Amino acid sequence: MVDDSPQRTDDRNARNGGGVDQEHRKRQKRHHGQNATNGRSLGSILNQLEHAIGNGHPNGHQNGNGAANGAHGRLTKLLEHRKQLPIWSAKNALISAVESNDAVILIGETGSGKTTQLPQFLHDGRLTTPPPRGANEEEKAFPNFPHVIAVTQPRRIAAITIARRVSEEFCGKTDQIGQEVRYGVPQSVSIPTTFKQVGYSVRFSSAFNPKRTRIKYVTDGMLLRELLADPYLSAYTVVVLDEAHERNVRTDLLFGLIKGIMAVRNKTSQQLQSVDLSSLEGEAKKKAERDALAARILGPLKCVVMSATLDAEFFADYFSTVRDGTTGQSAKVPAPILFIEGRTFPITTYYTTEPQEDYLDAACVTIFQIHRNEPPPPGDILVFLPGQDDIETLEQLVSKYAKDLPPTMSKLLPLPLFASLPANLQTRVFEPAPRGTRKVILSTNIAETSVTIPGVKYVIDTGVEKRKSWDPKIGVEVLAQVSISKASARQRQGRAGREFPGLCYRLYTEETYNSLKDATIPEMKRINLASTILTLKAYGVDDISRFEYLERPSKQQLTRSLESLLALGALDDRGRLTDLGRQMSQLPLEPPLAKVLLMSPQYKCTADIIDLVSMLDADNVFYNPASGRAEGTGGDVDDENRRGSDRGRFAHPSGDHVTLVGVLREYEKVGKEEAGGEKEERRKKLQWCKDNGIDGRSMRHIMEVREQLIKAVSAPPFQMDPTLTVHPTTTPNPAEFLKCLLSGFAQNIAMRQLDSSYRTIVNNVTCAIHPGSTVKGQGREREFPTVVYHELLYTSKQYMRTVSRIDYVWMSETAPQYYGRRQFSS
């Protein structure tokens, strides 16, 4: 049985185990009188062949081209590991539960094997077998055939690393991830027979093969975008909604949309026959006809909801089905919930006796205490921190002090893990440390549930995270550093007891822990839903208040979000999607940035905006020297000013936005003309970053993003010229560039007050320029009476991050809906 109390006790005995405990209600088989495993066709034959070679049968046949040679030993080893996972013994029960139900809820502690194993089980259970189909005209309406299991992940790192891992488990090789397909353009054509069956698709990068890939790890955002292009998800047989407990807004939205698709695709032949089209006409009739066709040709879509916490009834009720009872009355039956028995070792938890003023100092001290006082490695340390800035500061501190360790002691290797880390650096945390070295993984809450890092014995929990929230009353979105919930604290703690008895150091007092909220409020109830609404509208949901949300957002939240879309011009005054709005929904960017990018040809600055958007995708470009901390965590004002001035060399008189583009342009030029090729260029770039206090890792991520953005906007439907700019090599023309920016950020304007503070124009929020801004560093705030800012960040007070000076008159020019004449004179 799974841990039956949500409270984890620290002295719990080791659990062994496996098996599945199900609260499983058998259901009649349906779907056109056949179950999902019937109908062996082309796909089935392919599947059997591949199954024998590629998966589950490491000693099976080799494929003809011998590509699997050399992978055998690795496969056998991996299979041994897989067999040890708690989920392994539940394989058959899981396959049959999914076969006989439309939706299944699967609960299991992090690390029990849900994400990596369940899709492979379902593939073995033939759930990737497409329904039989002929070649008549009707079937041509759906060129895709359902043969893929989609597994959604809230984070791109998780999607990529897990796909790599599963690909290896499939065929023993790490490099056999699906073929590179970027924005629909295949990059290579040679595909060995048995490989490429596991792929991924995340924002700005994907690797899958449309014909061959059977298991696809996708970020929830990418599946939403796929849904817009393919409203019946016709390539999929099963969608696994992973990490459901996180209640990320995109996963929550997928719940509703997938339930809608299931209602269409999962109709029985009897239900299909009883559909009465005669009362319908026009668009509604066309849609009903197409829905019926989808049900007949594509067959059912199944859904598995996976979660690491026990709060599952909620999901089960949402996916309940109405069945006819014996007494003739219909009854609502919740989806079955299956529990995977966990396996954890006891964890001892320590609290601090006093609240800590500086959690970075406290974390650093704790790392070295553990390293000195605990037995030498194996046994790695995992530290949870709120964001990239802190991670990098601590990384520098640990590296610095690690040099002073006595030579007799084992080494310490700090490794960062955060969302915008370049792909090749992300995988380093999963590799074992060199002999005699202890890894110190410095992570955001990515490592909380979505990825499992082997070898962790010690967890240090700072108790804080960065969380986006929005106040619909005043329409201000803030990124704030806040206390985590009890549920998060327990998940963090649990990371210590995966392979050995572990220790968890909470850098806060027990009283603080007791005062934490039980769980975080779902994003759907606390953020700006503009992007969500845009997706819904683009999907054809006209009345967003009637959509079947997993949890309904407040009316005020919906109204405010609608207003912001209206102001951006994404909706017309009757709430219908405009052409601009449709294009915005197709870009993988938040609505304001999408709008700015789409407006850029008018201001002749597409290249500049692409560069800006790429730079903004990294949390942090300028290094924080270890002496000057992020505000609110110990750095004093002088420190902050000094830190700002490090960036002075790049500071553009107009402020941060143009400065950022300038940094990218300079970075691009470094080492370009040198002899020595790419390697030398890379070396030179790295050195340049070091010399200029720029984060080389972020720059690499930015260049990846930029490359993908250029591809995306050059392709249909956008077909923009990504090189369009007035100044291709230096900084953009500030006036045109900032006016273009205002077309999406007219809500983000603040004005300087007599007391030197700033007030936002919308709703009068008092704020200050972030200490990391080039404006602040130069002490030039006085020259910035009116500013546009990228975001408000709340730490010790409200800070505007990424700030530029604007001319008052631009406001009515670019955003008359906000700053039209009437408003000024009133």
User: How many amino acids of this chain bind Mg ion (CB under 5 A)?
Assistant: 2
Nearest distance, CB of residue 165 and ligand CDP, angstroms: 4
CB count, 10 Å around CB of 576?
Answer: 10
Nearest distance, CB of residue 217 and ligand CDP, angstroms: 11
**Nearest Cα residue to 548 out of 221, 224, 225, 259:** 259
Nearest distance, CB of residue 173 and Mg ion, angstroms: 22
Which one of the spans 109-117, 326-334, 629-637, 707-715 is the region binding ligand CDP (CB under 6 A)? 109-117
Question: Rounded to whole angstroms, how far apart are CA atoms 802 and 775?
Answer: 9
Q: Smaller CB distance to ligand CDP: residue 110 or 488?
A: 110
Residue 245 in the binding site for ligand CDP (CB under 6 A)? no
**Nearest Cα residue to 368 out of 388, 390, 394:** 394
Q: Secondary structure of 387-437 in the HEC alphabet?
A: CHHHHHHHHHHHHHHHCCCCCCCCEEEEEEECCCCCHHHHHHHHCCCCCCE
**Nearest Cα residue to 478 out of 527, 522, 433:** 527
Token readout for 327 is 């007494």
- Whether residue 495 contacts residue 447, with contact meaning beta carbons closer than 8 Å, is answered with yes
Q: Where are the alpha helices (H) located in 547-655, listed in sequence order?
A: 555-568, 579-586, 591-599, 606-617, 637-645
Which one of the spans 112-120, 128-136, 594-602, 610-618 is the region binding Mg ion (CB under 5 A)? 112-120
Look at residue 161 and give the partner it binds from ligand CDP, Mg ion, none, a contact being a CB closer than 5 to 8 Å depending on partner kind.
ligand CDP
Which one of the spans 96-104, 161-169, 565-573, 675-683 is the region binding ligand CDP (CB under 6 A)? 161-169
Question: Rounded to whole angstroms, how far apart are CA atoms 52 and 470?
Answer: 52
Nearest distance, CB of residue 416 and Mg ion, angstroms: 21
Look at residue 108 and give the partner it binds from Mg ion, ligand CDP, none, a contact being a CB closer than 5 to 8 Å depending on partner kind.
ligand CDP
Residue 614 in the binding site for ligand CDP (CB under 6 A)? no
Name the residue type at position 608.
D
438 membership: H or E segment, kind and range: strand 437-443
Listed in sequence order, the residues at least 6 apart from 590 whose beta carbon sits closer than 8 Å to its beta carbon are 530, 531
User: How many amino acids of this chain bind ligand CDP (CB under 6 A)?
Assistant: 16
| The binder of Mg ion chosen from 44, 112, 115, 213 (CB under 5 A) | 115
| The binder of ligand CDP chosen from 44, 47, 116, 583 (CB under 6 A) | 116
Q: Smaller CB distance to ligand CDP: residue 248 or 733?
A: 248
Residue 17 in the binding site for ligand CDP (CB under 6 A)? no
Question: Rounded to whole angstroms, how far apart are CA atoms 38 and 610?
Answer: 49
Nearest distance, CB of residue 243 and Mg ion, angstroms: 7
CA distances in angstroms from 280 to 272, 276, 283, 284, 547, listed in the order given: 15, 8, 9, 6, 21
Which one of the spans 160-168, 436-444, 683-691, 710-718 is the region binding ligand CDP (CB under 6 A)? 160-168
Residue 162 in the binding site for ligand CDP (CB under 6 A)? yes
Residue 151 in the binding site for ligand CDP (CB under 6 A)? no
Look at residue 100 and give the partner it binds from Mg ion, ligand CDP, none, a contact being a CB closer than 5 to 8 Å depending on partner kind.
none
Which one of the spans 55-63, 157-165, 650-658, 749-757 is the region binding ligand CDP (CB under 6 A)? 157-165
CA distances in angstroms from 229 to 500, 747, 806, listed in the order given: 47, 31, 38
| The binder of ligand CDP chosen from 91, 165, 196, 439 (CB under 6 A) | 165
Residue 167 in the binding site for ligand CDP (CB under 6 A)? no
Residue 153 in the binding site for Mg ion (CB under 5 A)? no
Length of the chain equals: 826
| The binder of ligand CDP chosen from 47, 120, 201, 452 (CB under 6 A) | 452
Question: Rounded to whole angstroms, how far apart are CA atoms 452 and 342?
Answer: 14
Residue 445 in the binding site for Mg ion (CB under 5 A)? no
CA distances in angstroms from 485 to 76, 490, 514, 517, 741, listed in the order given: 40, 9, 10, 5, 36
Residue 501 in the binding site for ligand CDP (CB under 6 A)? no
User: Residues 414-433 vs ligand CDP: string with x where CB under 6 A?
Assistant: ----------------x---
Residue 112 in the binding site for ligand CDP (CB under 6 A)? yes
Residue 111 in the binding site for ligand CDP (CB under 6 A)? yes
Q: Coil, helix or strand for 325?
A: coil
CA angle 499/505/506 to nearest 5° reads 125
Look at residue 747 and give the partner it binds from ligand CDP, Mg ion, none, a contact being a CB closer than 5 to 8 Å depending on partner kind.
none
Q: Smaller CB distance to ligand CDP: residue 447 or 529?
A: 447
Residue 454 in the binding site for ligand CDP (CB under 6 A)? yes
Q: Smaller CB distance to ligand CDP: residue 47 or 112?
A: 112
Token readout for 1 is 């049985």
Residue 161 in the binding site for ligand CDP (CB under 6 A)? yes
Which one of the spans 111-119, 516-524, 747-755, 801-809 is the region binding ligand CDP (CB under 6 A)? 111-119
Q: Coil, helix or strand for 470?
A: strand
314 by Cβ neighbours in 10 Å (0-12 / 13-18 / 19+) ranks as middle
**Nearest Cα residue to 656 out of 707, 621, 604, 606:** 621
The footprint of Mg ion (CB under 5 A) covers 114-115
The footprint of ligand CDP (CB under 6 A) covers 85, 108, 110-117, 161-162, 165, 430, 452, 454
